[in-house]
Each structure stands twice: as structure tokens, then as C-alpha cells.
A and B are shown apart, each in its own frame.
Chain A
Amino acid sequence: MIAGIRKPAAPMLTAGLALLILIAIIAIAAPVLSGGRDPALVLPHERALAPGLAHPFGTDLLGRDLLARTLYGTRISLAVGLGVAFAATIAGTAIGMIAGYARILDGVLMRGIDGLMAIPPVLLAVTLMTVMRGSLVNVIAAIALAELPRVARLVRASVQAVRANLYVQAAIVAGARTPAILLRHILPNIAAVIVVQATFIGASAILLEAVLSFIGAGIPPTTPSWGNIMAEGRSLWQVKPHILVFPAIFLSLTVLGVNLVGDGLRNRLDPRGKAS
């Protein structure tokens, strides 16, 4: 341990948050950090250059500066991660709560969810993207659809567990209507689980977007995303590894950061949950 610095109380959570804050700063300050370089500027004379002074990360097959592209790509990943986490969580929670509380609708809803889950997420997302045009919003929607079954099942199971509690029956006896019971009694008691799951969905979404863009079914290459940067470097990776390497490092670190936050949150919320 570095002298004078104590180990933090929640090492995973702290490390993860630190990473994510760093990534967020990169995303916001991309123009500044890339020294004003234009990620879309094609420089035909400077194609596939190795990292050097003028281009610290090198250039890609069209001569675009990779430092700028990689840094701007952070924005896409964060947008996808947050967007999917929100959308999948909200939609999945709504479905899960209805399925968990209203036994009549449970069967119908869960068969639908089971059907969605039967299709591997990557395949589902790719299929959706072939129908829709490639754009950031569509990518978020497609991935959210692929991820929401996980949330729905988790929420449904949690709702069923909480619904069996005596205080829910006490609320019914006190005259609370179903929406009030769901929002005031059930949701707060399952919120911790949902939040943890949302972080893991964010990580999964970032990876999934990279995969989609890599195979050309995601963000079109005009907007840089780590996936499509790596796609271009695919054919030349033995000769010009720099095109693959930098986005890959950024991707790994981001996903690591999100996973650390998720694990750290789960550790903090679980034992307290048991105690109360």
C-alpha cells in the first residue's frame, strides 16, 4: 500500500467509479484531449500510419486520426451504455412488475419474454438492425430489446418474493390500491437489485454495440465507435495492429469499470439488505 493512503472502505466500487469518471471526462473533453483533431477528416496521404508525433494513435485506412476517433468513440459507448441501461431497465421493470403482481397476465407476459430470451442477444440485435437503419437511436433500441428479458425475469421473481411479505397484506388491509402497493411498497424493496442489474446491462450493452459495429450492423463508420474502428483494422491487424489495439484497450477498461461498479454496489447493498 502507498504510505499514507488507507485502503478505501469499498475498493471495488471506488476503483470502478474512478475508472468511469475518467472515461466520462474523456468523452466530454474529447475535442480538447485530441488536440483539436477532426475525427472525420480524411487524409489520403497519411493512411495507416503507425503512432507518431503528429498522430499519437496513428491513422486508419482512410487516413483519419485515430486518437480523435478513439476518444470521440467514448461518447458513443457511454451513450449506448446509459441509454440501453435506462431503456431496458424501465421497460423490463414495468413488464416484470405487472407479471409478478397480476397472476392473470403473468402467463402471457412471461411466454413473450421467454420467446425473446430464446434468441441469443447478438443475433436478435443483428436481426433488428437489418430491418432498421443503422443509427445511434436504433442501436440503443435494438440492444435494449435484447436485454430487457433479463430485467423482466429478475423483477418478476423479486416482486413475487416481496408480495408474499406480511406488510404488503397489511397495506391491502389499510386500503391501498394496487398501483400504490406496487410503487410504494414493492418497488422500493426491489430497487437495489434492479440498480445492480442495470449496471451489468450497461456493460453488456457497450460490448454488444462494439460487436454490432464490428460486423457492420451497428453505427455507420462516419461516426466513430470502437466497434467500427476495430472493424476497419481487422484485415490488417498483423501488419498494422495499432488500429485494433487502442479501441480494444478503451473498450476493456470501460467494461471493467462498469462491472466493478456493479459488483461493488451489489456487495454494499446485499449485506445491508439481509440485515434489514
Chain B
Amino acid sequence: MTALLEISGLEKRFRLRGGRVLQAVAGVSLSIAPGEVLALVGESGCGKSTLGRCLLRLEEIDGGEIRFDGQRIDALRATAFRPLRQRIQMVFQDPYGSLDPRMTVAEILAEPLTSLGLVRNRHDAAPRVLELLDMVRMPRSCVAKKPHEFSGGQRQRIGIARALATRPDLLVCDEAVSALDVSVKAQIVNLLSDLRAELGLAMLFISHDLAIVERIADRVAVMYLGRIVETGDADAIFSSPGHPYTRGLLAAAPRIDAPFTTDGLLRGEPPDPAAPPQGCRFHTRCPQAVARCETDDPSPVPLVPGWSVACHFAANPVPEPMENP
């Protein structure tokens, strides 16, 4: 089966003041099958949000290829890309900024339909608008209200409804629940899970919260300083992570089933993305780093089909940490 989305060697650079270059995405390859949820996890500055934005053409890429349903889309001109927006949509992180404060809910939900020519005018969009509100479990009476009349969780539902308006095949969720309260997060994650099952959606679920990711992801890709360090089946990675960074992330994630321990905690902080370390980018914080790691940048090694780890020790399962952080 052809992958729905296939990214190879994606690169995105930003020019900073003072002439420095920030390589936000430094050669990323991944793929998503139809109906599959791939979670992209990492901490701030790893480039995961930038990657998501590149998929939606909110940024232009500097290298690599993006193939959607077999067709190369990165080189398309803006006008040629527009029809594809029907099939790739996005849910944004900030429920307070992602809805135009001067538009009513009906106008917000109708916009993708009218802009992409799926309906002739807003009037014709009305049935679909009501259908979308039902889908995200919001009352139909919302249609005439404006965003400021709703809470964060409700606004996020409106944002999800807008993203689903054109029946997309792929939904990019950029930290879609990060800004929400705990109890509301639960509502939205459940909603996304249900919608994904009902509609057969594929998703690129971008998040830093591993516990949330575990609820919804089929596969996981872990990103660090612009590179993917591990990709594989979600259950497998969560139970026995192959890359030291993944292990560090899991060790640091707050758990409520066991007492707090400092075992496995990474030392140091994520380096400045504009000045990444030489060799393996993770070596400055890695408990297993050896001399080779400071000079050789490891490429992803497939452990089993579908599971690859970018580490010189990938083939050797979890060794003892060489020093306590």
C-alpha cells in the first residue's frame, strides 16, 4: 500500500540576525500510511512544529522531498498546491489565537469550504457546518456566536471542526492539547481518538507530552535538534526504547505509578539549535557517549522492519549507563 505521506531528507533553515543559520529541520525522513497516527515527539527547539508547518506550506522547505499520495508536492507552485489543502489540514496549538475574533463560528467553519470551492457560498455551507458541530459535540446554537464566548476547550473543538470541514485524509495536530487544562485535555484527546476511528483519518500528532501520545499514536518518531533519532511502533518504543534520548524522555516523564527516581535522568539542557554539537547531536547529554560519538553522526539503523534508531549502539540493547547524571 502506498504511503499517504512520505517525507525524505526534509531540510528547513532560518536565517538569524547576525548571519547565523538555524537548521530547524536537518534531514528528516518519515512516512505515514493511510489511517495511521504517527506521533512526532520532542522538546522545544527540536523542529517538530516547523516540520508540521512545512507540510502545510506555511514555510517553504530548503531541501528534500514531500510526497503526498505518491505525488511530489514540495515543488508545486502555491496555486497548484491549493487544491491539495482539501486533503491536508491542521489543528493549531493556541485555541485563543487560531480563531478570528471577528468571525462567527458559522463563518469560521464555512471558510475552508468556500475558499476551496467546495460550496458556492456560505449559505450552501450551512448543512455541513451543522454536521461538523455535531461531530465535535458542540451545540448547534453556536453558529452565530463569536470565539470570545467560548472556553479554550470549546474553541479547540471549533478548530478541529474547521480542520475536518473538507474531509481531509491527513490531519496535522500541532500541540493540539498542550494549552488546555487537564480535564479538558482528556475530552479533546478522546474526541480526536473517536474521530480518527470514525473517519479513518491519518494524523501527524505533534506533541511533547508522552503520556498523551501513548493514548493515540500507532507509531512514534522522536525528534532531537532537527533530526529523527528513533522511529517505530508506539507500543514497542514505549516498552523498550532503543535510543538513549527516548529513554531519557521516558525516564523524565512524570509517572504516577511509581515513586520519583533520578535514575535515567538526562543531564544538561537541549543545546542551542543554531549551534548543534558536532558528531552525534545528542552526545553532550548522552549517558553512553564515547569518543566516536563526538565525531561520527549516526544514521538511522533499522533494528527490525519499521523500527530504526540513529545511534552507534543501536544494535546493542539497553546497556548500563556509564555515569550517573
Verify whether A and B have any Cβ pair under 8 Å. yes
Name the one of A167, A169, A174 contacting B112, with C-beta atoms under 8 angstroms.
Answer: A174
Asked if A173 and B99 make an inter-chain contact with CB atoms under 8 angstroms apart, the answer reads no
Q: Bound complex: CA of A165 vs CA of B111, how far in Å?
A: 17
- Chain B residues near A189 (CB, 8 Å)? 100-102
Asked if B115 and A166 make an inter-chain contact with CB atoms under 8 angstroms apart, the answer reads no
With A173-B85, A174-B85 as contacts: A185 and B148 at CB distance below 8 Å: no
A25 beta carbon closer than 8 Å to chain B: no
**Shortest distance in angstroms between A181's beta carbon and chain B's nearest beta carbon?**
9
**Shortest distance in angstroms between B97's beta carbon and chain A's nearest beta carbon?**
4
Asked if B115 and A177 make an inter-chain contact with CB atoms under 8 angstroms apart, the answer reads yes
Q: Bound complex: CA of A177 vs CA of B58, how far in Å?
A: 13
With A188-B102, A276-B148 as contacts: A166 and B92 at CB distance below 8 Å: yes
Number of interface residues of A (CB under 8 A): 19
Of all chain A residues, which has the CB nearest B148? A276
With A166-B92, A176-B111, A276-B148 as contacts: A171 and B116 at CB distance below 8 Å: no
- Chain A residues near B98 (CB, 8 Å)? 166-167, 169-170
A180 beta carbon closer than 8 Å to chain B: yes
Asked if A174 and B115 make an inter-chain contact with CB atoms under 8 angstroms apart, the answer reads yes
Of all chain A residues, which has the CB nearest B53? A169
Label chain A's interface by main secondary structure.
helix
Q: Bound complex: CA of A209 vs CA of B2, how far in Å?
A: 72
Enumerate chain A interface residues (CB-CB to B < 8 A): 165-167, 169-177, 180, 184-185, 188-189, 275-276
Q: Can you list 20 A-B pairs with a CB-CB distance of less than 8 A?
A: A166-B97, A167-B97, A167-B99, A169-B58, A169-B92, A169-B98, A170-B98, A170-B159, A171-B111, A172-B58, A173-B56, A174-B89, A174-B112, A174-B116, A174-B165, A175-B82, A175-B116, A180-B115, A185-B100, A188-B102
Enumerate chain B interface residues (CB-CB to A < 8 A): 56, 58, 82, 85-86, 89-90, 92, 94, 97-103, 111-112, 115-116, 148, 159, 162, 165-166
Please give 12 more A-B residue pairs, beta carbons under 8 A apart, in addition to A170-B98, A171-B111, A174-B89. Answer: A166-B94, A166-B97, A171-B100, A173-B89, A174-B85, A174-B116, A175-B112, A175-B115, A180-B115, A189-B101, A275-B148, A276-B148
